[in-house]
Each structure stands twice: as C-alpha cells, then as structure tokens.
Amino acid sequence: MRRINVPVLIVGGGGCGLCSSIFLSDMGVEHHLVERHASTSVLPKAHYLNQRTMEIARSHGFADTIYAVGAPMERFGHIQWVTSLGGDGPLDRRRFHEFDGFGGGSLAERYWRDSPCMSSNYPQLRLEPLLRQTAEERAPESIHFGHEVVSWEQQPEGVLAEIHDRAADETYEVLATYVIAADGGKTFGPALGVEMVGPTNMVDMVSTHFAADLSDYADDDSMITWSINAEGQGSWTSGALVKMGPTWNRHSEEWVIHFAFRPDDPARFDEEAIVPRLRELLKLPDLEIEVFKVSHWILDRIVAERFRVGSIFLAGDAAHRQPPTTGLGLNGAIHDAHNLCWKLAEVLAGRASDALLDSYEAERKPVSEDNADWALSAFTNFAVVDVAMGLLPGAPVEANVAAMQQFFAEDRVGASKRARFAEVINTQRMEFHAHDIEIGFSYDNGALVADGTPAPSRDPLGVEYTPTTRPGHRLPHAWIEQDGQRISTHDLVRPGAFALITDADGAEWLRAAETVAAETGVTIHTAVIGTGGAADLDGQWATDSELQAGGAVLVRPDQHVGWRSATLVSSPLQALREAIASILIHQVPAPA
C-alpha cells in the first residue's frame, strides 16, 4: 500500500483542522489534512468570531478576508427581544428589550481599547469554505477532502493511519509523527477511551436553516432576535432567530432559528412538523419557507479528561463541547489550534523537547473547562430571564398569558415587572459582553515561567478585562509607531517567532536575545518601546506593560507572555537563556 511520511496528520476539515493547517503552513511545517466529507459543513452552526479569534486571523493574514464578507459591526453588534415576529394579538410583535453586544454600540470604545481588531460575524457554513481556500492556497498539496481515516495505530515512531480516498476508492497509509485529532470527537477520542467529563444530553436543540423574506418583520441591526412568549413558555422554546446573510440587514436571504425540545419529546424527529412549527414560532402562518437543513444537536458540557494521548492531540470539539451561548465552541477550537501549532513547529524543528507538547493540555484544558462552565451558565441564565418576565415553564398557557399581560400593563405592577426584568436581563451580559472571557483567559501552568505575582482579579460576570503582562496572559495590545507605521504590540509577534520587548534602558536584553537566538536556533524578534524605539502612541504600553525602566517581556509565538522581568537584572543573558530553556523544556546551554 502507498505510504506517506509526514510530520503532522490533521484529521478533520472543520474550523479547527483548517486553521491548524493554515498555522502550520505559516510556520513551514509539512502536514496532511484529511476530511471525510467531500465538502465543508453544510450546517450553519457557529457565526460569532470573537476578538481573540480575529486577532489570530489578523496575525495569520486572513482577518481582512473575513471582514470583507462578514456582517459589519453596525449590523451584528445588537440583540433584540420580542414576543413574536408576526401575529396580531395584543401580546404579539412587542419589542420589549434590546442590548448592544459583541463589541457593538456602547461597547465599541472598550473593545477597541483592548485589541487591534474587532470581533466579526460570519456563519460557519460560509466561513469554512473561506478557511479551506486559505489553507489550500498555503499548502496546495496538503488538503484532502473526501478522505477518511478508517483505522490507525500508535507506533514508536508516530501514528500509522489508513486513509480511504472516497472518490478514487483507494486506500493509502500515512505515518505521522504527530496527529491533530480535530475530528469533532468522532474518531480518535472515543477509540482511545478518553472520557468526556461533564453533564450531557441536557436538551435537544433543533436548528433550522431556511430562506424566507422576513423584511416586513425583522429589523436591520439585530443579529439575534430572541422571542419570549407565553405559548413558547420561555426563551429556548420560543426560539432565537439569527441572520445568515449574505445581505446583513432585514433583507437577509437566509436565516436560522434555534429552539429546544425536551430530549424525551417524541415530536423532535418529526421533520414534517418542522415547517408548521417554524411558522407557529414566528407567528407567520402564511410565510413561504424554503428549508435547507434541519439539524439536531444535544446540549453537552463535556471536556476530555486528557487532551494528549501519546502522539495524538485532541483539539476543538474533540476536546470540549459546550452550549453555543457565548460562542466559545468554534472560537475555542481555533484557540486550541493556535496554542498547539507553534509548539509542534518548535518540537519538529528540534528546538524544543517533546515535553513542550504536554503544556498543550496543561494550558488548554483548564481554559476549556472554564469556557464550558461559562457557556452552560450563560445558557441556563435564560431560565432566570424567563422567570423575571413572569413566565413559569410548564405552567398552563393561560397562566403565562396572564403573566405577560401584567408585564405589559401600563400600571404600577407592569412597571415594576418591567423594571425587574431590565435588571435581570442585564445579567445576560455574561454572554453578550463577555470581553474578559474572550480575551482575558490565561494559562497558570505550562510553557511559561511564573513570576510569583498574583493574577489580576477577574470580573465575576466576565465583562471587565484587565490588561497584564503577567506570564501566561495574552500580550496587552497598545498602538505604537515603528518606522513611521502605526502598528499594534501584537504585530511585534509573528507566526513561529518569539518577541522580546524592552525599553531604552534594556539594550542588554537585545544583545542577550541575539545570543540566545544564535545558541538555540529559536527566532526572537526584539523591539524597544519608548525613547530611541517605537513611540508609545497613547501611553497605553507604559501603563499596561507593568515594566519598570530596563524591564523586558518575552512573548511566545501565540502572543501569550512566556516570561518577564520587571527590571534589568545583573545577567540578562543568563536570565533569558533560562527563560527560553524553561519554556521550550530543554537544557540551558553552557555559557560560551
């Protein structure tokens, strides 16, 4: 049988696998990606790409491609709540709340302060072809759709996988030093017996992707329209309507509506019932609907007990699955790939020991557990919102109708209920304003040198983000001017390279970086911010860097801080040697 030897086999051509390919290509790592389907996913799934994801896309040169086609911020940074889209009853078509979200409107200033780029919104079924094209452009021979891993075994020299090329009906072998199992949890994890820990099978959600003209009922600015009405009995059962574009206003050609069934509801797989149910949910009995796809997904909050088994790394949905609230699924999958790929590049180039790869689990598992808990909390918080409106799930419809009548009554009771609702719904900012969850996550243990400082306290609702250069945290963004160009501190960190940032008093660090780079082969770009170097345009770096004169920060290729020294030390060369050696887990070279 034909055999290919390759450093990395990527299994899965979803968001995680395709981004892994792009990242590895940018670092010159040869790989072979297989996806069993002939095309990218036909399911709409994710649509929100958070700021961290867009920062990563920016540093790998594909953010502008997404911005060019995704919804502009003024068309997605908003959420509204209605009783129903249609209908002409006294409780119908009431728009009773709205919210800025995802960095839009009132949030924009804060989001722009903390990042060189904004979040975006582009449905996964449109995003994946774009990622596929980018991956194919960068590694034309490496991307293989319609190819399935049918069997595999771990061997001393790596993983030997048997792959079936469906179109050619041909089977071949790939011997890979490492495997990124970005397979959505379909293949490697279950076969390896990796337990997915956490509650599962909580709710059966149905997502229906359809075309319809809703321009007489929808608005231009809200990406998500939540319905809460007495008949639906609550947020998840009344449905959430999401624009799918490609036109990003009320004339959106395509839509998705998500709503929940109880897992034991016999009607849940009755496809015939879906269109009537949709019309009922929207209260538009005569609406012409063309259904593209009805998909069921089970609400889980599960995280793999292990992210690494031998030479195999579980990433994306293979490692964690959580409710879609806060959009941490696809985003987290891309962050996994970003964390893992630079480490693979260093190890495969012989600049780091294999033990560096253990830090992938040490770093990403706690963050994934946090994200999964967060997503579930944001999901269940909708029940609080429903009750705040006066609805009791399971109560007779008449009781809930009466509660809603009270809610909208122009009297003291109605005013009080609406005021209570306004306070309670504000807690849902844990989902729509989750700025700290999105960019403030950090690693406590892993490929970093802890400096003993305490982590900044975190906002319990996940909104307020505190910039810090404490090791393990994402490098704070600040605008600087270098060689006449306004760039972000993030631009100092290029794919596959470390960056050392210091000030005018830190010249010795620069010499040390040059020596350590020569000794280890590790690429370390250097930058001086302040006198004699790049201008700190808004003074933001001076505040957020937390460095004193002569201090330095060493940033890993994934833009997370690996080490810092608040001041100049007596032997910068030794300090930097030890820092790089600890991060890459190899011996400190003997002084020349």
Ligand X SMILES: Cc1cc2nc3c(=O)[nH]c(=O)nc-3n(C[C@H](O)[C@H](O)[C@H](O)COP(=O)(O)OP(=O)(O)OC[C@H]3O[C@@H](n4cnc5c(N)ncnc54)[C@H](O)[C@@H]3O)c2cc1C
Binding region for ligand X (CB under 6 A):
11-17, 34-37, 41, 45-48, 124, 148-149, 182-184, 186-187, 207, 258, 297, 316-317, 324, 327-331, 333
- Rounded to the nearest 10°, the torsion over CA 162, 164, 168, 173 is -10
Rank residues 8 and 493 by Cβ distance to ligand X and give the closer one: 8
CB of 248 to ligand X, least distance (A): 16
Question: Dihedrals φ, ψ of 8, to 5°?
Answer: -135, 130
- β-strands 3-11, 31-35: how paired? parallel
CB of 93 to ligand X, least distance (A): 26
Taking only Cα atoms into account, the Rg of the chain, rounded to an integer number of angstroms, comes to: 25
CB of 48 to ligand X, least distance (A): 4
CB of 322 to ligand X, least distance (A): 8
CB nearest ligand X: which residue?
A: 316
Rank residues 182 and 522 by Cβ distance to ligand X and give the closer one: 182
Rank residues 330 and 478 by Cβ distance to ligand X and give the closer one: 330
CB of 586 to ligand X, least distance (A): 31
Extract the runs of DSSP E, i.e. beta strands, from 265-304: 290-298, 302-304
Rank residues 186 and 458 by Cβ distance to ligand X and give the closer one: 186
CB 16 within 8 A of CB 333: yes
Question: Dihedrals φ, ψ of 240, to 5°?
Answer: -120, 125
Rank residues 327 and 557 by Cβ distance to ligand X and give the closer one: 327
Rank residues 231 and 317 by Cβ distance to ligand X and give the closer one: 317
Query: What is the DSSP-derived secondary structure letter of residue 287?
Result: -
Give 289's Cβ-side CA count (13 Å radius).
22
For residue 71, how many other CB atoms are within 10 A of its CB?
A: 25
CB of 431 to ligand X, least distance (A): 10
Query: What is the DSSP-derived secondary structure letter of residue 115?
Result: -
Extract the runs of DSSP E, i.e. beta strands, from 429-570: 479-482, 485-488, 498-502, 524-528, 535-536, 552-555, 561-565
Rank residues 92 and 373 by Cβ distance to ligand X and give the closer one: 373
CB of 327 to ligand X, least distance (A): 3
CB of 186 to ligand X, least distance (A): 4
Rank residues 9 and 547 by Cβ distance to ligand X and give the closer one: 9
Sheet holding 290-298, edge to edge: 95-100, 78-82, 224-227, 240-245, 254-261, 204-211, 290-298
CA separation for the pair 565, 568 (Å, rounded): 7
Rank residues 182 and 376 by Cβ distance to ligand X and give the closer one: 182
Helix axes 328-348, 51-59, angle to 10 degrees: 40
CB of 323 to ligand X, least distance (A): 9
Q: Across the chain, how many H-helices and E-strands are there?
A: 18, 27
CB of 181 to ligand X, least distance (A): 8
Question: ω into residue 246 within 30 of 0, thus cis?
Answer: yes
CB of 44 to ligand X, least distance (A): 7
CB of 387 to ligand X, least distance (A): 24
Contacts of residue 416, Cβ cutoff 8 Å, sequence gap at least 6: none
CB of 280 to ligand X, least distance (A): 20
Rank residues 376 and 555 by Cβ distance to ligand X and give the closer one: 376
Rank residues 37 and 268 by Cβ distance to ligand X and give the closer one: 37
Rank residues 320 and 577 by Cβ distance to ligand X and give the closer one: 320
The first and second tokens of residue 383, run together, are 């029940």
Rank residues 124 and 359 by Cβ distance to ligand X and give the closer one: 124
CB 155 within 8 A of CB 140: no
How far from 94 is each of 262, 278, 391, CA to CA, in Å? 27, 19, 16
Helix ranges restricted to H, 27-117: 51-59, 63-69, 73-76, 108-114
Question: Dihedrals φ, ψ of 308, to 5°?
Answer: -130, 130
CB 386 within 8 A of CB 235: yes
For residue 85, how many other CB atoms are within 10 A of its CB?
A: 21
